[in-house]
Homo-oligomer: A and B are copies of this chain.
Amino acid sequence: MQIRLPKRSFSEALAVLDRVVPTRASNVVLTQLWVEARPEGVLLRGSNGEIDLEILVPAEVDGKGVRLVPGQLLGQVVRNLPGELVEIAAEGGELLIESGSFSTRLATAPADDYPQFSFATTEMLHLPAQELARAIQRVRYAASNEDYRAIFRGVQLELHPGRLRAVASDGFRLALYDLALPLEREARLVVPARSADEIVKVLDRVEGEVALGVEGAHLSLAGDGFRLAAALMEGEFPDYERVIPGEFPLEARLAAPALRDSLKRVKVLADRNNHRVDLVFSGGGLEIVAAGDLGRGTERLEAEVPADAEMLLAYNAEYLLDALGPVAQTARLRFSGPASASVVQDEDDAGYLAVVVPLRV
């Protein structure tokens, strides 16, 4: 096999695969990258056991064949190559890679032990890649990093007639994003949050549509030049909709960037344990307040709020900042009371909704 391709497209594909292929793994073959010469280009495959990823990079190819090479090493070699073109050839047990004045021979491993990939082949739905990425990305922060409840370490994708919803929660806060899509099926799939991150990275490179399918315990995505299969988590989220309040005695509209900046300034003075900042509505205005052992900080902010509004709400500043994160311009804050859940929405993007519970004070 002989392969000739631009360094740039090769290197970009390897950068995505590098994120998946582990440096060490109990199943050693997973540290290897599958390099296959095909008539239409070089097919690269990598897996961490939870997510299988395949990328086809267009190339001039003579002959056929597969070699396994250490994944992280190949990425490092290709990133540093001096020339704009890369030539690859299999010679005995080695893969010869040449570019400009540089030449390397990498030891290869037999391809027989490489795991079968689990790409779905039937019943694929077609979705805009960027919108799917956005839906996942906007809720990802709310997923749990801890073992409190295993299912919350995933991002739930729900297919409903007419829409797709991404949801994440850690049991203390919640984020959801609804995407209007001409779907017909009903399904709930929970993808591990780390796999969800890789899915976003892969979709970032894709223009146009991706095909989504479910087969066995795997979610598959396929698009221009790539296929991906992610192992699904067992189970589904508990009924989270009941924690979203239905009535809001107080609502406010604020510039999200100004509120974020103010929270960042004031939280410096907050109690180091609970990161408490208070939102104090009174006299038609809003004051952000924090006080800890070392001092006290306050800031008055512009807000669209009823003139007779009187309410004090205490939050973990980090949670409130996270919930505001996806809101580019105007945030709509809806308060059900100082001891019950609050809702953050994006005035310019009806798909997003976050739930943050005030601290007990």
Residues of A whose CB lies within 8 Å of any CB of B are 70, 73, 76-77, 80-82, 94, 101-107, 261-262, 264-266, 268-269, 293-301
Question: A104 contacts which of B94, B104, B296 (Cβ < 8 Å)?
Answer: B296
Q: Which residues of B contact A77 (CB under 8 A)?
A: 265, 268-269, 297
Per the bound structure, the CA–CA distance linking A166 and B205 in Å amounts to 50
- Given A73-B294, A73-B295, A94-B295, is A269 in contact with B104 using a C-beta cutoff of 8 Å? yes
Q: Are B266 and A106 in contact (CB under 8 A)?
A: no
Nearest-neighbor residue (CB-CB) of A75 within chain B: B268
> A81 to nearest B CB, angstroms?
7
Q: Are B70 and A294 in contact (CB under 8 A)?
A: yes
Q: Which residues of B contact A105 (CB under 8 A)?
A: 295-297
Question: A298 contacts which of B82, B102, B265 (Cβ < 8 Å)?
Answer: B102
- Given A107-B293, A293-B107, is A80 in contact with B298 using a C-beta cutoff of 8 Å? no
Q: Which residues of B contact A262 (CB under 8 A)?
A: 82, 101-102
Q: Are A73 and B268 in contact (CB under 8 A)?
A: yes
Q: Are A297 and B261 in contact (CB under 8 A)?
A: no
> A182 to nearest B CB, angstroms?
46
Q: Which residues of B contact A106 (CB under 8 A)?
A: 294-295
Q: Which residues of B contact A301 (CB under 8 A)?
A: 101
6 A-B residue pairs with CB within 8 Å = A77-B268, A81-B265, A102-B298, A103-B299, A105-B296, A107-B293
Per the bound structure, the CA–CA distance linking A269 and B94 in Å amounts to 14
Per the bound structure, the CA–CA distance linking A180 and B297 in Å amounts to 52
Per the bound structure, the CA–CA distance linking A294 and B74 in Å amounts to 10
Q: Are B82 and A261 in contact (CB under 8 A)?
A: yes
Q: Which residues of B contact A81 (CB under 8 A)?
A: 265
Q: Are B296 and A80 in contact (CB under 8 A)?
A: no
Q: Are A80 and B299 in contact (CB under 8 A)?
A: no
> A21 to nearest B CB, angstroms?
14
> A263 to nearest B CB, angstroms?
10
> A293 to nearest B CB, angstroms?
7
> A44 to nearest B CB, angstroms?
18
Q: Are B265 and A82 in contact (CB under 8 A)?
A: yes
> A336 to nearest B CB, angstroms?
28
- Given A82-B261, A101-B301, A299-B102, is A76 in contact with B268 using a C-beta cutoff of 8 Å? yes
Q: Are A104 and B261 in contact (CB under 8 A)?
A: no
Per the bound structure, the CA–CA distance linking A305 and B59 in Å amounts to 39
Q: Are A80 and B268 in contact (CB under 8 A)?
A: yes
Q: Which residues of B contact A264 (CB under 8 A)?
A: 80
Q: Which residues of B contact A261 (CB under 8 A)?
A: 80, 82
Q: Are A295 and B104 in contact (CB under 8 A)?
A: yes
Q: Which residues of B contact A300 (CB under 8 A)?
A: 101
- Given A101-B301, A300-B101, A301-B101, is A80 in contact with B265 using a C-beta cutoff of 8 Å? yes
